[in-house]
Amino acid sequence: MSYTIKIPSYINDFKCIGKECELHCCQVWGIDWYVSEVERIKNSDCSQELKDLVARSFKKTEHDDIVRIIFGEDKDCPFHDKEDRLCMIQKELGHDYLSHTCKTYPLAGTINNGTILRYRVISCPAVYDLVTASPDACDVYTKARKEDITTVNSCFVDTETDVSDNPVLMYRNELFDFFYGIISNKNTDIITALISGILAASKIDEFAAKDVKRIPEVIKALTPQMTNPATLKSLQDIAPNLSVKLPVLKNLFSSLEIEVPFRKFIQNGEGTADTDVLFISPEQYNDYYKKFRSCFPKDYIIRNIVRALYMDMQMPFIDKKDSIFANYAYFAVCVAAIEYLGVCIAASNDDEVAVRAKFKTIVCHLARKLCHNTTTNKLVLDFIKSINCYTPGYISIIVK
């Protein structure tokens, strides 16, 4: 079978920074291994020390053929050498003995209807650095069709059953290009672009409900509107409503159970335990927002982070069963939440270098939670629905 392959331009520049990495992929996650992969190490020529470590470092999961790494008390992978910060399995046996996830991370992708989109996940700090290094890092290119691809590692595949359950999935590629084009439009700011995407998502759902096959025609009709300067200006001129936006975002962190760890992380050394670093009043917000943005004077940086998150969430379908609007609303609220945390960091830290470093850590950590965890989107959407904000108007207010 032949495929069309689409890739962002940064993809081949990736290099794992190994022991220099401050945010190891071996930390925080419990990486799943196939039982056969573990057995292969047990039967190898490795040291007894490694065999003993393997014997006590995996726990059962709900799947008979999959086991999960047990973290130490330091929340680190037990195979992670504490001195040189390298993987003991890789050091003794080589790359081939790693689990599928360890071998492929941070590479990921989607496959739909003969098109493969390849990207790298932004939870990896080396990917964050690449994505934010140049304006065109996230420009997506189509490569020549390749014949006879039999296996494609680490890709989310849209199966025939997926498409028959939700026929809108048939148009994943067209919808990806359409929404990615909107957030990539350099003639408008990223917030306005996100809002125009919210309105477009709602419109597409309206037509899809009547006749799904009209989606290409609707995309074609909406595309000039999404780049029309007058339309973009009118969206840009919408006044923010911070008395709605700020409490929604602050309460969202509690529902995601990230409030406590992030509170500690954002706070600088001089803060007190009483300081609520996740609270910013509407009166202070604009000043702190400007301070945050001044730490990223190059406009493309935040835009590229948003574009990378869009790919990492397998948009426009992080949830294949849900509508375009539901998926886009999730994406837009996540971006708003990440930006809000950036503003909180700027509010609590005066050093620009520290703001940038902390924001990078927040993006990488949150990407794990928001993009690689299929239950988070349900949590976020349930929360938005529970406070009656699940409409294009309210989602736009949260983003603005």
Q: Which residue ranges make up the site for ligand SF4 (CB under 6 A)?
A: 16-18, 21, 23-25, 105-106, 124-126
Closest CB to ligand SF4 among residues 20, 270:
20
CB of 366 to ligand SF4, least distance (A): 14
Smallest distance, Å, CB 127 to ligand SF4?
7
* Strands laid side by side in the 66-69 sheet: 32-34, 66-69, 58-60
Minimum distance between the CB of residue 208 and ligand SF4, rounded to whole angstroms?
37
CB of 131 to ligand SF4, least distance (A): 12
21 vs 133 by CB, closer to ligand SF4: 21
Q: Please give the structure tokens belonging to residue 118.
A: 């390849």
- The answer to whether the beta carbons of residues 25 and 124 sit under 8 Å apart is yes
Q: Closer to ligand SF4 by CB, 104 or 275: give it.
A: 104
Nearer to ligand SF4, 105 or 119 (CB): 105
What's the rounded Cα separation, in Å, for the pair 178 and 156?
Answer: 20
Minimum CB separation of residue 50 from ligand SF4 in Å reads 19
Q: Which is nearer to ligand SF4, 105 or 253 (CB)?
A: 105
Q: Which is nearer to ligand SF4, 8 or 392 (CB)?
A: 8
Query: How near is the Cβ of 359 to ligand SF4 at its closest, in Å?
Result: 17
